[in-house]
C-alpha cells in the first residue's frame, strides 16, 4: 500500500488541493448566503425557498463531498512514510486547524437547518463575524504548511 501512495503522491496531492479549494469556496460563501437570507428575505416567500435550495445544495452537493475528499486525500498524504515530521509543531497546528474547519462546517449545517426551520435567532452581523473564522483557520493552515514557522 505504501508503494502505491508514494508513486501516486503527486496525484493525491493534486486531488487534495482541488478538494480543499472546492470546500473553501463553499465554506466562504455559505455564511454570506446566511447574511442575505436573514437580512433581506421574508419567511415562507419564494425567495426564502430559493435561498434554502441554494444553501442546501451548496452544503450537500459541493461542501460536504469536498470536505470528505479533502480528509481522505489529506489522510492518504500523511500516511506516506517520511513526508511529515511529526516532531515539528506545524503538522499539529495544521491538524487542529483542519479539525476546526470541520467543526465550522458542521456549525454551518446546523445554522442552515435553523434558518430552514424558522428558528434562527442570529443576525446578519453575527453571520458576517462568523464568516471570518474560516479565513483565520485558512491562514493558519497555509502558513503552517508552506512557511512551517512552528
Range of the domain at 134: 2-146
Per DSSP, 54 falls in state H
Task: Indicate the number of domains in the chain.
Answer: 1
> C-alpha grid cell for residue 145?
504548511
User: Could you tell me the pTM of the whole model?
Assistant: 0.92
pLDDT for residue 107? 98
Taking the C-alpha atoms of residue 71 and residue 114, their distance in angstroms, rounded to an integer, is 26
- 116 Cβ neighbours under 8 A, 6+ residues apart: 52, 55, 56
Taking the C-alpha atoms of residue 35 and residue 33, their distance in angstroms, rounded to an integer, is 5
The model's pLDDT over 76-90, given as tens digits with 9 standing for 90+, comes to 999 999 889 999 999
pLDDT for residue 3? 86
pLDDT for residue 150? 84
Per-residue pLDDT band for 134 (boundaries 50, 70, 90) equals very high
pLDDT for residue 140? 96
- 27 Cβ neighbours under 8 A, 6+ residues apart: 63, 101, 104, 105, 108, 134
The model's pLDDT over 30-80, given as tens digits with 9 standing for 90+, comes to 999 999 999 999 999 999 999 999 999 999 999 999 999 999 999 999 999
Asked whether the predicted pLDDT for residue 1 surpasses 80, the reply is no
Amino acid at each position: 500500500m505504501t508503494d502505491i501512495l508514494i508513486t501516486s503522491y503527486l496525484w493525491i496531492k493534486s486531488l487534495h488541493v482541488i478538494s480543499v479549494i472546492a470546500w473553501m469556496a463553499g465554506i466562504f460563501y455559505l455564511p454570506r448566503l446566511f447574511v442575505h437570507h436573514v437580512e433581506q428575505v421574508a419567511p415562507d416567500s419564494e425567495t426564502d425557498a430559493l435561498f434554502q435550495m441554494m444553501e442546501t445544495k451548496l452544503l450537500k452537493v459541493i461542501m460536504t463531498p469536498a470536505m470528505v475528499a479533502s480528509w481522505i486525500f489529506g489522510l492518504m498524504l500523511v500516511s506516506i512514510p517520511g513526508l511529515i515530521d511529526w516532531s515539528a509543531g506545524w503538522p499539529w497546528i495544521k491538524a487542529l486547524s483542519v479539525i476546526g474547519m470541520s467543526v465550522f462546517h458542521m456549525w454551518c449545517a446546523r445554522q442552515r437547518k435553523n434558518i430552514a426551520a424558522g428558528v434562527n435567532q442570529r443576525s446578519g452581523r453575527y453571520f458576517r463575524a462568523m464568516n471570518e473564522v474560516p479565513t483565520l483557520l485558512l491562514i493558519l493552515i497555509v502558513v503552517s504548511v508552506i512557511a512551517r514557522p512552528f
